Structure formats: C-alpha cells, structure tokens
Amino acid sequence: MTSTPNEPLLRIRDLRKQFGHNEVLKGIDLDVFTGDRIAVLGASGSGKSTLLRCINFMETPSSGTIEIAGQVIGTALPERPGKQERRYTESELTRVRQRAGMVFQQFNLFPHMSALDNVAEGLRTVQKMSREDAILKARAQLDRVGLSDKASEYPSRLSGGQKQRVAIARALAMEPELLLFDEPTSSLDPELVGEVLRVIRALAQEGRTMLLVTHEIGFAYHFANRVLFIADGQIYESGTPDEVLKNPRKKRTQDFLARHNEFNF
Ligand SMILES: Nc1ncnc2c1ncn2[C@@H]1O[C@H](COP(=O)(O)OP(=O)(O)OP(=O)(O)O)[C@@H](O)[C@H]1O
Ligand SMILES: [Mg+2]
C-alpha cells in the first residue's frame, strides 16, 4: 500500500517518549510521504534512535500518535490527566514492524544462522512462508545487495559491510513500505562504508521511502530530499539539504555542522 498524494505514508503527531524522568522526545510532528528520503541528524543523545524505535514500536511511545497510510496505530486509552496513552496489541505491532523495516548500527544478525537463513527467518516465522519459498525469496534479496556468493556464510565470517548488507537484505525481504536506517555505517571501518552507502543509494533510486539517521553529512546531502535536525527532543530545524546543511538558520544546527566540517559536499 502507498499513500495518496495528500496523505502521508507516515504521520506522527505530538510524539513523546520519556524514560523515567528523562523526556527524550518532546512532541515530534512529522509527515513522511511515499518516496521521501529523510536524513535525521542531531547530537549524540538527542533522541534520533528513540524516534526510529518508536516508529516501529521497539519503544512504546509515552504519548502521541503514529499513523501509517491513514491508519492510527493502537487504541486510545481513557485519558488520564496529562497523559494520552494508547494500547497496542502484539499482532498489530508485528504488522507495523513488517511495514517499517529497521536496519541497525550493529546489524543484529543471528550469529548461529547463515546469511541466507538470517534473511529467510522473518519470512518463515512472521510471514509463515514455507522454507522453500522463504529461501527462494531470501536468495533474491541477497542477490540485490551483491551477496549471492555469501549465502551460506555465518556472520562471523563476513566483514562489517557484508553483515550490514545482509541486514538490509533481511529488511527488504519483508517488503516494507518504509525503511528505517539507524546509523547503518557508523560501526564500519572507513573502507567498508562505501559498499553499504551504494546499496542505500540504489534503494533511493528505486523510489523507496526511507528515514536515515546518519553522521555522514556529505552522504545525507546527496541522499535526502529533506533533512531534520533534532535537538531538545524536537525537530529543531528542517528543510531541503541545501537549506539545512548549507544555509542553516538556527544556531545549534550551525554549531553541529561546524563540528562536522570535514565533510565536503
Ligand atoms: N531504553 C532506554 N532506557 C533509558 N534511557 C534511554 C533508553 N534509550 C535511550 N535512552 C536515553 O534517551 C536519550 C536519547 O537516546 P538515543 O539513543 O535516542 O540518542 P541518539 O540521538 O540516537 O544518540 P547517538 O547519536 O549517540 O546514537 C539518551 O539520554 C539515552 O540515554
Ligand atoms: Mg542512536
């Protein structure tokens, strides 16, 4: 399913997340349309991962709503003073996680499974595919990320770049409408970054809808049609890559970019 021109694929309203007394997200509003490629920047600890994790409900939002293709996730609970909590069922969240696939900094592959089985696992357990069909589909996904020849390798025998490409293949296998990347290259040796960014660039060229948390400012500039800078638990500044990365209007964005001035773009 895709969104209609006027209806965002993902609509976030007043999303808040707190851990104990630490309110990390303080009211995020965001519309993501089909085909958007959004780069999310911000200082360490600003809540970028928390935002992505709330979108696919690895973290439960404290309040606010997340809507995918017009469908609000969860059911409103009777309001308590100062709270707008919602109730989520596991089956609903399983569907959401298929629609919003996540790629992690640390790959999160199963060490005891081959690359092929890592990609096939969700197809079998979540989508209930037969082993034969799952393997067939998993092979096609490994092929897309250039790893056909590594299908039977275990993660310990793959480079970081290869592991991340397996993780991308695993996410793609579920045919998500939205791809969430959380610093997919920041744990890689510099010489392995390029092969992962090439895969992400190819996905962008296919018109996929993506949110990418990254510190690769130069890549973000060319990849994104929209850039968000997160600070103080909010979208502090947003706009086109030229607006936010070349001509930031606000002080904290300017300071952040000044600290990343080794990037040329
Ligand atoms: N599960 C958790 N329990 C308690 N606090 C958490 C949890 N997850 C995140 N936090 C806190 O929320 C804040 C935001 O963390 P988050 O990981 O979202 O930041 P980030 O912007 O992704 O940072 P980085 O660039 O270092 O990855 C931090 O203060 C962090 O300590
Ligand atoms: Mg993070």
What is the pLDDT at residue 78? Answer: 77
Q: Which of 17, 25, 49, 106 to mutate to test the pocket of ligand 1 (most atoms within 8 A of CB)?
A: 49
Whether 174 is covered by a domain: the verdict is: yes
The whole domain housing 240 covers: 10-259
8 Å CB contact between 178 and 127: no
Give me the tens of pLDDT residue by residue for the chain, a chain 265 residues long.
555 567 999 999 999 999 999 999 999 999 999 999 999 999 999 999 999 999 999 999 999 999 999 999 999 887 765 567 789 999 999 999 999 999 999 999 999 999 999 999 999 999 999 999 999 999 999 999 999 999 999 999 999 999 999 999 999 999 999 999 999 999 999 999 999 999 999 999 999 999 999 999 999 999 999 999 999 999 999 999 999 999 999 999 999 999 886 655 6
* Any domain includes 5: no
CB-ligand 1 contact for 265 (6 Å cutoff): no
Q: How far apart are the CA of 51 and the centre of ligand 1, in A?
A: 10
User: Is 1 domain-assigned?
Assistant: no
The residue type found at 34 is: T
Q: Which residue has the tokens 């964005």?
A: 253
Question: Residue 85: its pLDDT value, please?
Answer: 79
CA 102 – CA 171 distance, rounded (Å): 6
Q: Is residue 72 part of a domain?
A: yes
The predicted pLDDT at position 6 comes to 77
Q: What is the pLDDT, as a whole number, of residue 263?
A: 59
Cα 34 → chain centroid: 14
How far, in Å, CA of 146 to CA of 45, rounded? 34
Q: Which helix (DSSP H) or strand (DSSP E) does residue 64 occupy? A: strand 63-68
229 C-alpha to ligand 1 centroid (Å): 16
Q: Is 211 a domain residue?
A: yes
CA dihedral 195, 214, 182, 193 (to 10 degrees): 20
Could you give the CA distance from residue 31 to residue 86 in angstroms, rounded to a whole number? 20
Residue 200 lies in a domain: yes
Number of domains the chain is built from: 1
Quick check: is 166 in a domain?
yes
Contact 59, 41 (CB under 8 A): no
State the helix-helix crossing angle for 190-205 and 160-173, rounded to 10 degrees: 20
pLDDT of the residue at 187:
92
Does the beta carbon of 44 sit less than 6 angstroms from any atom of ligand 1? yes
Ligand 1 pocket check for 24: Cβ under 6 Å: yes
Kindly report the pTM of this predicted structure.
0.94
Domain of 255, CATH number, reads: 3.40.50.300
Say if 110 falls within a structural domain: yes
